[in-house]
A and B are shown apart, each in its own frame.
Chain A
Amino acid sequence: MSDLDRAIAQLRACRPIPEAEVRQLCHKARELLIEEGNVVTVNAPVTICGDIHGQFHDLMELFRVGGDVPDTNYLFMGDFVDRGFYSLESFLLLLCLKVRYPDRMTLIRGNHESRQITTVYGFYDECLRKYGSANVWRYCCDVFDYLALGAIVLGASNTLPSSSGQPAASPPADEVEIEVHNAHGHVISRFLRPKETKGDGTGGARTASPNGGLSNGVSSDSSSGSGSGSASSSAPANTGPPGSGASGSSGGSVGNPAGAVLCVHGGLSPLIDMVDKIRLLDRKQEVPHEGAMCDLLWSDPDEIDGWGLSPRGAGFLFGADIVKVFNHRNDLSLIARAHQLVMEGFKEMFDASIVTVWSAPNYCYRCGNVAALLELSEDESGLGVLARSNGEVNRSDGGVGPRGVLMENDLMGARSGPARRYRVFQAAPQDSRGMPAKKPVADYFL
């Protein structure tokens, strides 16, 4: 194991490990990953991260903000490689950590974890440059084929544990649904759960607020909703997503309070109506160009009804109604996904039934965006764990009533999923990383 620790140390210094070690590492990783189901079960607490894209120094910053590995339980939602200049180091480090701490690290596959995509977007070239042959790329691609396609987070709490950065005069923890922290752990803004009396109208508005609130509220230290204690106060400032009002059953049914959280790189697929269907895929293959596996890695949520064609050419667009039905059917409270750049680092959509998490700050070294982590805390009451189910209907409401009458039942309760704490961070300071550049070709004949 000391070998592995040494490799981790070397990779942390952003120095690639020798080819032979990569081969060993990939071998070990394969043994590990083959034992994982297509949908890995992860228990809260967990920190969920989006795309990394080879931005090694920002990955280090991520670990700094989110906590180091054995201490924090991480779930990375794919796209570790390509575009950035340190895909190799980033992916190998994550893989090393996976092998070293298998229970504290979950890696799922993104659309860039594929041979075709990596040959075009930089990972292949990078391996070729850094090792002089494409072997390491091949080892890595073999590992890609074994990566899980999704994860289910169980046992996430509905209340946020108090954090050090929290000011004294904060609302009761169980009312807070979303907390946004900056890189230093200070609370930037806080969003409370809506009062039960509120009807549909605020649903869309409220959930739209984290992003709206963030963009104009980064400077203001305290939350917009903390004073009044009601979410409706923040509603006028932000209009809800246009689709939410029109989608029929008015956002009420989304998000089962006791449901699990599905993490997947892209999104949903028309071929997958149950999480269990994901388990039936033969995932050990190059990401296909269509079909369920492709969709899971390529789709995007969008303000539409039903399914739409994706401008990416692979996967689909899916609307709020799809998410709503899917979440209900599978007893999910939230879908966490990555795959799309969001300038604020995270973006909740469709009455907070789906969230995009993006963890590559200043994407491509020039997009100017911030990145985010999503922390789901552990339910310490001991009750919630039982209530949560893994895609099984009829158990999660704890015997409150029959599931079928979803409309009335869920409208009354808290509609939103687990308590979420976002940590927003910026790109690592320029000086800490040296100049990002590719390694030049050493010798040339022509």
Chain B
Amino acid sequence: MALSFQEAEGCALIWKFIDGVQQTYQSVMGAPDDGLSDDLAIDMPASIQLPPADIRTLHELEMTIRNLSQSPAGRDALAKTIMNEDYISKLIPLVDIAEDLESLQDLHRLCNIMKTILLLNDTAIIEHAVSDECVYGVVGALEYDPDFPSHKANHRQWLKNQGRYKEVVRIQDDQVRRKIHQTYRLQYLKDVVLARILDDPTFSVLNSLIFFNQVDIVQHLHNTPGFLKDLFAIFHDPNEQPLRKKEAVLFIQQCCAIAKNLQPPARQALYTHFLSQGLLPVINFGLRHLDVSVRVGATDILVSMIDHDPSLVRLTIYEQIQRHSLPLTDTLIDLLLVEVDLGIKSQISDALKVLLDPTPPGAPPQEAREFMVGQARLRAQQGIEPQQDLFLTHFYEHSARRLFKPLLDLEKRTEMKFSPLEDGIFSYLNDILCFYIRQHQHRSKFFVLTNNLAQRFVQLLACKEKHLQLVAIRFFRQLVVLQDEFYYKHMADQKVLGPILDVLLRTMPRDNLLCSACLELFMLINKENVKELIKHMVENYREKIMALSYMDTFNEILNRYDQTQGFTASVDPYFESEDELGRRPMHGNAVGLRGEQLAIDQAQEEYLNTSDDDEDENIATANRGMGVLNHSLATNGGSAASKPLVEYNSDDDEELDEEASNGLVEADTVMTPADTASRLSNGDSESDSAKENKAPSTPTTITSAAAAAAAAAAAAATVTPPERLAEKRRREEDEDDDALNKLTQHKRRNSSGSVGSVGSNKSTSSSNANTGSSPRKLKLAGYTADETRARGGGRSSRTASPNGTNNTALGQGQRHGHPKKIAISIAPSVKTAATTGGKGSQLGGQTQGQTTQAKAQTQAQTQADGGGGGGGGGGGEQ
């Protein structure tokens, strides 16, 4: 047992303990013997006595409970006592009594007591509270919130309304039915009753309870023989009431929503089961339904199924094609063109993209599809399933013209005036078309060419609505981004740039969105140095460009042309290299990677899991992170040497592989970098650093190691801003934690200060705290990434990756009902970050000779030991 006098709670606890021992001695006669046993210290407060639940002693009770809930031990004891004595049930009658007495004060007290009890964050208590026996009493007490003395909520009324529960097919099992109700109550508790006061641990407890219940329920339905049969029979029965059919669709929709959280095999089984029972006809039925909510439901079902596994749906469509019946895609297309509901529209447009994504099966599922556009393109070249190929051929032969009909029809139009319904479709069509152009190389090329779509978009440029003009500009931008000579030539042939220049000249004095979009397009052409287009532009529209040449972009365009005299073949080495820099971001297309971390969901984990053959997500993350490295180097405009980066990429992988297989990246160490960091910097407990999270904008924590830290910082010539990663759901400050992880994976790479951490990359995951937490200065002036630096950057991508693991680990932790509050507070302040950085590099120097097989923990130990004089180490190392 560790004694801590640092905090008032701790002191009070110890004092209580001593006091308790004394009392036991004094009343030796009456007290039971175990008062002196060894485990007394641990569950000392377990012997707490709560005042009897009585309306007269409520005040006392409230005080006791509040006091006990202040300390962790007290909370444990309180939770135990409440469950053991079934205290909640004793409190419930008091609510009625107090209501009868109209004693508002007592009701407020009861509310406070109940709040405290629920926020004890004990799974058993919460489950008990939503049980049939207790729930109305509990929410009844919570109706009288002292924070809103003049209000009374109507939770009981809401929950008692049994009509909210719709039972489409009778669920025989009582227990499951009860569970359904309880889940709903838990949700209500989370969203309404406790919404304002929920803390993070309780929130995650509620969430995990809900999650497990839902999984149980869906599994039960799935495994109950005949249940799904009965369910789908509703659709087959012609005499069935329309309302019941509607509800059945919504029921399936909810099932699918829950299924998203299931483990992949279970989900697969469920969907297969659904499909075998005839899910597709149901979707077909739903999509054509007059009621918009049914259509929404059906699209939802379809989308969640596509999200799960598009090949499943494709297979069915393929069969439909074989049978010469109307394929699902055509149904979707028809619906897209006539649908008024925007939500359905955009979901269908997404679905059409995914279904026609020629990704080979076995590749990552499509959840992250938005982000993987760049990679998908690479994959597309790896070869397409013959079946998928057939499907695509069929699509371009039959369906494509149907889909893009509104665009094609423009040809016959003379007047560019659209009804609101009409003009909404173009942006969707453009989105889809852009996606197809990226994904279906030659087919889409042929389609664009034969139908002369470029001219159609030029027509759009002429219409009055600015957002339609924007759509057209976006299309041409996409063509430029593709860097395809064919499209360049097409754009030149079709003379599309002239009308865009006209749009620009027309809007130029206004400085609006349209004008910015045009400028951006021309900047892109200039930056990419698309000689074909530049030549075309200058030769055909010289006056227009001259009129705009007061802007650098157009001036440069003119110069570029004049320098080469229109000889596109001439290769200027200077331009070439610049070209490369400019183009890399397009190829790397790493944009999405950062985004993936924005929403941490299971889908993403899966993606990570499946993208590599072993269980090590790190590689994937690091791998893909490299793209960002290139990108950010390039975009920062420095004269970064790009070659080494690519080399180190592979280099890195091997190391990683090795490490991973050696099991060096131990979950434990990874889980608590905060711990490590704080241990390294000073002896403070981690709770300290967690507390310090509160004020990110004013990092003034002066730790005991501050002096050493300053020295280290100076030595490493690195100014490190404070950085904290804390996994909290709702934090006091406006940090968006979802985005936090991205940081560790990407931006770090272009940091000049990583020199200091190069040494430390031989050390293992414990030093992640260093590299992970010492963000480097990104000074543009001194931004010449030499090889060393690039190396450092490359390596740090590895060190960053455990944070990815961290995520997954955390997510699973929550799912398995261990809602530990894991604060990944890597560095409590500037100073500590610098210190650890310095130490890390010093250590790296010392242990460079060691093999990478050294155990992480050993190293952590070494690091901690050798940390004392870490000041000067950082600088001398390189």
Chain A residues near B (Cβ < 8 Å): 23, 27, 30-31, 33-38, 51, 79, 83, 85, 111, 116-117, 119-121, 132-135, 138-139, 146, 270-271, 279-284, 288-291, 298, 300, 302-314, 316-317, 319, 339-343, 347, 356, 363-367, 430-431, 434-446
Contacts and interface: CB of A to CB of B under 8 A. Distances in A.
A138 B347 CA distance: 11
Interface in B761-777: 775-777
Contact of A138 (B148, B343, B741, B748): B343
Nearest to A278: B516
A137 B436 CA distance: 26
Given A37-B516, A289-B591, A444-B164, 7 more contacts: A138-B346, A282-B517, A309-B743, A312-B735, A317-B721, A356-B697, A445-B250
A139 B512 CA distance: 21
Contacts of B628: 290
B595 A347 contact: no
Give the one of A279, A340, A437 with max B CB within 10 A.
A437
Contacts of B747: 309-310, 313, 316
Nearest to B251: A445
A347 B697 CA distance: 10
A35 B151 contact: no
B865 to A, nearest CB: 29
Q: Which 10 A-B pairs give the minimum distances between C-beta atoms?
A: A309-B775, A313-B743, A289-B594, A37-B511, A313-B742, A313-B739, A282-B520, A306-B779, A308-B721, A307-B778
Contact of B780 (A282, A307, A310, A364): A307
Contact of A431 (B150, B346, B697): B150
12 contacts: A120-B738, A280-B520, A289-B592, A290-B594, A291-B635, A308-B778, A363-B732, A438-B195, A440-B191, A443-B166, A446-B180, A446-B255
Nearest to A368: B732
Interface residues of B, number: 106
Interface stretch (B99-107, B182-190, B263-271): B182-190
A33 B150 CA distance: 42
A330 to B, nearest CB: 16
A446 B187 CA distance: 12
A303 B831 CA distance: 12
Contacts of B719: 304-306, 308, 319
B520 A445 contact: no
A37 B635 CA distance: 24
A195 B532 CA distance: 61
Contact of A340 (B466, B510, B734): B734
A319 B775 CA distance: 14
A305 B777 contact: yes
A308 B777 contact: yes
A219 B787 CA distance: 58
Contact of A146 (B192, B513, B592, B744): B513
B280 interface: no
By secondary structure, the B interface counts as helix
Interface in B235-266: 247, 250-251, 254-255, 258
Interface in B633-649: 635-637
B742 A302 contact: no
B734 A51 contact: yes
Give the one of A38, A308, A356, A443 with max B CB within 10 A.
A308
Contacts of B407: none
Contacts of A27: 420
Contacts of B250: 445
A313 B775 contact: no
Given A308-B720, A431-B148, A314 B739 contact: yes
A289 B196 contact: no
B778 A430 contact: no
A97 to B, nearest CB: 21
Interface string B178-208: 0010011001100111011100000000000
Interface string B133-146: 00000000000010
Interface string B672-699: 0000000000000000000000011101
Nearest to A242: B700
B92 interface: no
B183 A446 contact: yes
A280 B777 contact: no
Interface stretch (B114-122, B570-578, B723-731): B723-731
B520 A34 contact: no
B415 interface: no
Nearest to A307: B778
A329 to B, nearest CB: 14
Contacts of A342: 697
Contacts of A356: 697
Interface string B586-598: 0000011111011
A283 B777 contact: no
B348 to A, nearest CB: 13
Nearest to A246: B719
Interface in B134-173: 145, 147-151, 153, 158, 164-168
Nearest to B779: A306
Contacts of B742: 289, 313-314
Contacts of B776: 308-309
Contacts of B738: 117, 120
Give the one of B255, B521, B722 with max A CB within 10 A.
B722
Nearest to B181: A444
A290 B742 CA distance: 11
Contact of A446 (B192, B217, B512, B517): B217
A130 B622 CA distance: 41
A121 B739 CA distance: 12
Contact of B523 (A33, A280, A446): A280
B599 A116 contact: yes
A312 to B, nearest CB: 5
Contact of A111 (B168, B467, B736): B736
B723 A309 contact: yes
Contacts of A436: 195-196
A122 B697 CA distance: 24
Contacts of B515: 37
Contact of B166 (A279, A289, A445): A445
Nearest to B695: A343
A312 B598 CA distance: 10
B181 to A, nearest CB: 9
Contact of B730 (A83, A317, A340, A438): A83
B751 interface: yes
Interface string B320-352: 000000000000000000000111001000000
Give the one of B192, B251, B636 with max A CB within 10 A.
B192
B599 A309 contact: no
Give the one of A117, A313, A341, A443 with max B CB within 10 A.
A313
B218 interface: yes
B635 A271 contact: yes
Contacts of B188: 440-441
A341 B187 CA distance: 29
A188 to B, nearest CB: 21
B834 to A, nearest CB: 11
A321 to B, nearest CB: 9
Interface string B387-399: 0000000000000
Contacts of A306: 719, 777-780
B632 interface: yes
B65 interface: no
Given A312-B740, A441-B187, A132 B293 contact: yes
B514 interface: yes
A431 B151 CA distance: 8
Contacts of B778: 270, 306-309, 316
A271 B164 CA distance: 54
A307 B777 contact: yes
A296 to B, nearest CB: 13
Contacts of B400: none
B592 to A, nearest CB: 7
A4 B730 CA distance: 35
A134 B743 contact: no
